[in-house]
Amino acid sequence: MVFPKNIIYKKIHKKKLTSLKKSYSYFLSFSYFAIKSLEPVRICSKLLSVVLFKIRNLGKKVKKVWLLIFSSKSSTKKKEKTRMGKGSGIFYKWFCNIHAGQLILEFEPTTDKVSYLVYKKMQSLLPNKIYLIKK
């Protein structure tokens, strides 16, 4: 799974996904192909590891993969049958916020057909709408 090794604060406040910042990656910087998110969404670390596993399973068709998102925020959950109040609960899972228009990953395929194959696999895995970008 993809999660940070050292953390300062275990429990954080959740924010809305509507705000856009300039620090996120919106342009290609490593390769000629990328997958772009069209909707804001939260993605957990298990789904990120499944995405990397599926792309690396294609073998030598994809030369290199750059994952541009990282699950750095934690989520908490209360136990069942507990009453309201008394803190936010125990640690549950790691997630990351993806904004609309943000690049999720960049990859270097051997042919253009392979890039479309990667796009179709990602479309079935991810919960939001995505778009394939070619430089």
**What is the three-class DSSP state of 131?**
strand
Element (H, E) at 51: helix 45-56
Distance CA 17, CA 41 (A): 7
Structure confidence at residue 23 (pLDDT): 53
Structure confidence at residue 130 (pLDDT): 93
- Mean pLDDT computed over 71-97: 80
- Mean pLDDT computed over 44-67: 88
Structure confidence at residue 129 (pLDDT): 93
> 106: pLDDT confidence band, cut at 50, 70 and 90?
very high
- Domains within the chain, CATH numbers bracketed: 33-76+89-134 (3.90.1170.10)
Among residues of the chain, what percentage have pLDDT more than 70?
82
- Mean pLDDT computed over 105-130: 90
What is the pTM assigned to this prediction? 0.77
Structure confidence at residue 34 (pLDDT): 92
- Mean pLDDT computed over 18-44: 79
Structure confidence at residue 18 (pLDDT): 60
The DSSP code for 59 is G
Distance CA 15, CA 65 (A): 29
